[in-house]
Amino acid sequence: MKTSKYQLLIGSLYFNYIFQGMAAIILSQNMDKLKTQWQVSTSQVTLVMSAIGLGRIVSLYFSGYFSDTFGRRKTVIVAILSYAFFFFGVLFSPNYQLAFFFALFGGVSNAFLDTSTYPTLVEAYPDEKINSSLSVLNKAFISLGQFILPFITRYLLQKELFFGWPFILCAVCLLANLGYLLFAKFPPLSSLPNKTQINANDCEKNNNIGDFKIDGAALLVFSFVSVSIFNIFILWIPQYAESMRVVSHENSLIFVSLYSVGSFVSVFFTSGIVKKGVNIPKLISFCVGISGFTLLWMLLAPSFVSTIVASLAIGIFAAGGIWQLGLALMLELFPSRKGKYTSYYSLATSTSVMITPYITGILSEHGMEYVFWFDVFLVLLGFIASLVIQQRYKKFFPTEITEPLE
């Protein structure tokens, strides 16, 4: 079958990521409304946000097994139904305890969506040049969702309409998309390795280049930090801008859209610059450093201009693909068990999604500036980790500049 016949399928799968992007920020965008509905504090709302990370952690391994065993179609069905439970469940929960339970489905759907979409992409387009370029669209669609939602929320606030309409819209659109995916033609499932192949792989000589206690640990720290930097930013920048009297509550939501613009543009910029053959460890250090400087400027001189610059900079330099570059380095240094080390790297990310909302929720009750000082601390930690990675990489590849990615 010609791969062109899968274009509509791939478009449908990536359409889901618009709502994954919205799911990541929808609770923070409606924090005041949810606090009132559940009669709770800020930290209790952020505890509900943390459940998304917990849901992803507990389903991370099983989702991959489910996808390989039962197929991509059933996996994406689970993902969409889980998102429906998340959006409807959180919205109509009478208390935060029940909302916490439904928020777990947000993490489950996140894991199942990834393990259905990426393998389908590779199976539909076996040519690495094609599937590598298409994989960039994942982040682009997430950024698109995070760009659109603040405008919807702002409109509802200004018109004093029911805050839950975006929750309902997300669930309805996903279920409508499911109607197509139920009957769509998926590519044949890739053959799984047989027992003989698995035993042979187990007996292979370990050809890892790096020392996991040093290089692996530094990359796991970077994985945790790189996601934390932009997640903290998009969760709290509206409240920070409002508390610093930079803009009104309604207009504060637009900073998330500016962040999303930066992230969207940077996805393609990062892909292009890496193809030119830049040194990836140095690029990572540069991006983390710029993120730190703009956050410091925003904290030390809070203003409309500094907040705009920080929003764009975090989108461009922290959320534009450096996490993926870190994963590429992990697999380059530890090539013998790619699946194993990818799961370690993703686990660090999921841990960040689980604990940082709750920690920053507690800090926010003492002052919004403490949330972003914590973010600056994480940037510093990530910068140190990136320097370790840079020096170690230079040791292993003393004359090598990272080869262009196809």
Cα angle at 343 between 284 and 58, to 5 degrees? 125
Same domain, 163 and 233: no
Do the beta carbons of residue 325 and residue 280 sit within 8 Å? Answer: yes
Range of the domain at 82: 1-189
Average pLDDT over residues 10-39: 94
Residue predicted with more confidence, 206 or 210: 210
> How far is CA 380 from each of CA 233, 264, 317, rounded to the nearest angstrom?
15, 25, 15
In a domain, 123, yes or no: yes
Same domain, 114 and 172: yes
Same domain, 178 and 238: no
Query: Measuring CA to CA, which residue among 14, 248, 335, 274 is closest to residue 145?
Result: 14
Same domain, 242 and 347: yes
Final residue of a structural domain among 155, 189, 223 = 189
Same domain, 360 and 217: yes
The pLDDT value given to residue 152: 95
Do the beta carbons of residue 35 and residue 96 sit within 8 Å? Answer: no
Same domain, 313 and 260: yes
Residue predicted with more confidence, 245 or 400: 245
Query: Measuring CA to CA, which residue among 106, 33, 111 is closest to residue 76?
Result: 111
CA dist., res. 151 & res. 154, Å (int): 5
* Number of C-beta neighbours around residue 395 at 10 A: 10
In a domain, 251, yes or no: yes
Average pLDDT over residues 388-401: 78
CA dist., res. 383 & res. 286, Å (int): 9
Q: At what angle do helices 217-243 and 368-396 cross, to 10 degrees?
A: 150
Average pLDDT over residues 13-24: 94
The pLDDT value given to residue 347: 86
User: pLDDT confidence of 280, banded at 50, 70, 90?
Assistant: confident
Same domain, 362 and 390: yes
Give percent of the chain above pLDDT 70. Answer: 89
223 sits in which H/E element: helix 217-243
The pLDDT value given to residue 132: 55
Length of the chain: 406
In a domain, 159, yes or no: yes
Q: pTM, whole model, 2 decimals? A: 0.83
In a domain, 195, yes or no: no
Q: CA torsion sign, 345 to 348 to 350 to 353?
A: negative
Do the beta carbons of residue 404 and residue 274 sit within 8 Å? Answer: yes
Same domain, 223 and 370: yes
* Number of C-beta neighbours around residue 95 at 10 A: 12
CA dist., res. 343 & res. 349, Å (int): 10
In a domain, 213, yes or no: yes
Same domain, 121 and 208: no
Give me the number of domains the chain comprises: 2
Do the beta carbons of residue 307 and residue 251 sit within 8 Å? Answer: no
CA dist., res. 233 & res. 142, Å (int): 16
CA dist., res. 67 & res. 114, Å (int): 10
Final residue of a structural domain among 133, 166, 189 = 189
Specify the DSSP class assigned to residue 247: S
The pLDDT value given to residue 1: 42
Q: Residue 145 corresponds to which tokens in the numbers above?
A: 């969702």
In a domain, 194, yes or no: no
* pLDDT tens for each residue of 128-184: 555 555 666 777 899 899 999 999 999 999 999 999 999 999 999 999 999 999 999
In a domain, 198, yes or no: no
In a domain, 156, yes or no: yes
Same domain, 143 and 208: no
For residue 354, give the CATH number of its domain.
1.20.1250.20
Same domain, 336 and 309: yes
CA dist., res. 260 & res. 113, Å (int): 21
The pLDDT value given to residue 346: 82
Same domain, 256 and 343: yes
User: pLDDT confidence of 328, banded at 50, 70, 90?
Assistant: confident
Final residue of a structural domain among 159, 189, 219 = 189
CA dist., res. 346 & res. 173, Å (int): 28
- Is the backbone of residue 20 left (phi > 0), alpha (psi -120 to 50) or beta? alpha
